[in-house]
Amino acid sequence: MIVLWLLFLLLTAPLTSLAEKQAAGQDFNHMTTGFVLSGGHAVAACETCHVGGVFKGTPRNCAGCHAVGVRILATPKSSTHVVTDAPCESCHFNTATWLGARYNHGTAVPGQCVNCHNGRIAQGKTSSAKHNSTIGQNSCDSCHRTSAWLVTGYWNHTNNALYTYSGVNCVSCHSPSGIANEKVQSASHMPLTMGGLTFPDCRSCHTNFTSFGAARYDHVGASACTTCHNGTYSGVAGKTAGRHVTYTGTPECSACHSTTTWSSKLSSTTLHTTYFVGQTCQTCHASNSLISGAKKDDEHGGRYNTGVPDCSSSGCHAPLGGKGSAYTDWD
């Protein structure tokens, strides 16, 4: 009934003033149409939308009015607007202002991100090394999700539209000029050509894509241990100064160690009679000794540290003394 009344009112519009029409119209509860008049719509005159007094079938979608060449005159996209065919509703969530638009990426087509993300319409790719590599760069979604530009935790090495995994080309990205230029070898990374060995394949030590930290090395055929285990390369174990035993000669690490663990494999007797000859027992066995693996004094309360003769030459412990058996037992 109200509708019919209003229709009558508006159809007879020429007879009444605009102000009267408006005033009468304000009584109509527009909510009942399901098209809430908010923001810029609340202050717009009824006629701007109901041109010629037509009510039924007035467009409800933004583009039905906010476009060029439609019956209703409402602000269309400007010439500098984001080039897109997506419905206005997917970016414009209110009728008060066009500013602060957010793009709902739910409908974004993979591979076409650059249509918007070209630095003009929306954030484009930056000029950093991350984007300078030769691999295709326009499919932003090959490397980026739509929620954030960070790739950490998202980058997929083995199933990437741009990157066909061939295994050995890690440096094409993991180099200062590559896209993963924050995850590159440090200055103290072990050289990849050393001691007659070459490592073209990073995977010989880096067997996962989660961390470079847990490097493993397959020692099959390895000799010249000190080429690598000299304490100068990042993450490659060397002798810890002050903690490692001092030994006679220049044997390779392999004289005492296996390639699977640093816990000595030599018998205690061989160690003492071949490599520790001539050193006083306290060098390693005193309570304040830092030598890893050497038994510390737990019987003497540290007394022999203060100038008492050597444990063995004093005539107490074997081999020169009577207590225990040489290098295997103190008592």
Show contacts with ligand HEC in window 26-65 (CB under 6 A).
26, 28, 30, 33, 35, 37, 39-41, 44, 46, 48-50, 55-65
One symbol per residue from 169 to 198: x for binding ligand HEC (CB under 6 A), - otherwise; what is it?
A: xxxxxx----xx-xxxxx--xx-x----x-
Q: In whole angstroms, how close is the CB of 13 to ligand HEC at the nearest point?
A: 11
Contact 129, 176 (CB under 8 A): yes
Enumerate residues 6+ apart whose C-beta is below 8 A from 186: 234
Judged by CB under 6 A, the chain residues 83 through 142 that form the site for ligand HEC are 84, 86, 88-92, 95-103, 105, 108, 110, 112-117, 122-126, 128, 130-131, 135, 137-142
How many residues line the site for ligand HEC (CB under 6 A)? Answer: 180
**What are residue 20's phi and psi, to 5 degrees?**
-65, -45
Q: How far is the C-alpha of 133 from the C-alpha of 136, rounded, in Å?
A: 8
> Is residue 286 involved in binding ligand HEC (CB under 6 A)?
no
> Is the peptide bond preceding residue 319 cis, with omega within 30 degrees of 0?
yes
Ramachandran angles phi, psi of 223, nearest 5° = -125, -135
Q: Is 212 in the site for ligand HEC (CB under 6 A)?
A: yes
Q: Which residue's CB is nearer to ligand HEC, number 68 or number 306?
A: 68
Which residues from 216-235 bind ligand HEC, rule CB under 6 A?
216-217, 219, 222-229, 234-235
193 sits in which H/E element: strand 193-194
Alpha carbon of 9 to those of 16, 20, 29, 39, 193: distances in Å? 9, 10, 15, 25, 91
Q: Interacting stretch for ligand HEC, rule CB under 6 A, among 11-19, 21-29, 298-306?
A: 21-29
Number of Cβ within 10 Å of residue 228's Cβ equals 20
Q: Please choose, out of 12-20, 22-30, 301-309, the segment that lies near ligand HEC by the rule CB under 6 A.
A: 22-30
